[in-house]
Amino acid sequence: MASYRIRQYQDKDFDTVRTLFARGMLEHCPAWYRHILRSARVQLQLLVLFVLVRAASGFWLLGLGAVALALVAIWLLVRAYSTAYVRQALSTDLADVRGTYLRSPHSCFWVAEAGGAVVGMVAVEPPEDPAERAVALELKRMSVSREHRGWGISGALCGEVLRFARTRGFGAVVLSTSVVQVAAQRLYENQGFRRVGPASSSLLTSLLCFQIFRYRCDLPGPAAAPPR
């Protein structure tokens, strides 16, 4: 049986959790790219591009070149968007994990350790939405190293977050994940989360077919008065 333990974040974990997070996010780029190319809307747009360039230039090859350029541009956009997201996280909450997550009674950060190395991570904090803030906590930054997937580590990390929220009297845990994070969707649904709708999206994410899903897990038992 694969063995690991869950413990609270310590300062010595700083570099590892940042790397773990960045790798976990950037690994979705190929899946996101494939997801875009499977979209009927995008396929139609590429076809229209081909027909227009072919008609305007009179050359098949130029039509094909335009489509190839569009495919490269889409890939670069996917990489740029993902990298910007990772950079933003690394320069905000993950620039000061202790300060962000370990100084308030309603936030926390755990890591999973196996063979003396940190191989998984998760955080919890109050959600940004004031309506949710009163009753729920938000699970964030879930990631498990590729070599340690399928061990049940993410389920144990999730359980830690749910227990933490329940013991503090919150009625639910919420989170966001994306259409291409299928293992994450499966994990959260197995843990009792249900999809409660799409999260807000920007024009760029709509163009790139990048739907964000909002999930919620209602906690059993009467929620105590929401902590102030």
Ligand X SMILES: CC(C)(COP(=O)(O)OP(=O)(O)OC[C@H]1O[C@@H](n2cnc3c(N)ncnc32)[C@H](O)[C@@H]1OP(=O)(O)O)[C@@H](O)C(=O)NCCC(=O)NCCS
Could you tell me which residues come within 8 angstroms of residue 83 by beta carbon, excluding any fewer than 6 positions away? 26
Residue with structure tokens 């008065």? 225
| Choices 52-60, 69-77, 79-87, 136-144 (CB under 6 A): range interacting with ligand X | 136-144
- In this structure, the chain runs to a length of 228
The smaller minimum CB distance to ligand X, of residues 53 and 181, is found at 181
Contact status, residue 106 vs residue 123, Cβ threshold 8 Å? no
Could you say which residues in the range 152-181 bind ligand X, by CB under 6 A? 153-154, 177, 181
**Distance set, CA 12 to CA 16, 19, 142, 186, 218 (Å):** 8, 13, 19, 31, 34
Q: What Rg value do the Cα atoms of the chain yield, rounded? A: 21
From candidates 142, 165, 208, 219, binder to ligand X by CB under 6 A: 142
The smaller minimum CB distance to ligand X, of residues 34 and 186, is found at 186
Q: Taking CB under 6 A as the rule, which mask of x and - marks residues 176-215 in contact with ligand X? A: -x---xxxx-xx--x-------------------------
150 binds ligand X (CB under 6 A): yes
Write out the residues near ligand X by the rule CB under 6 A.
Answer: 24, 27, 142-144, 149-151, 153-154, 177, 181-184, 186-187, 190
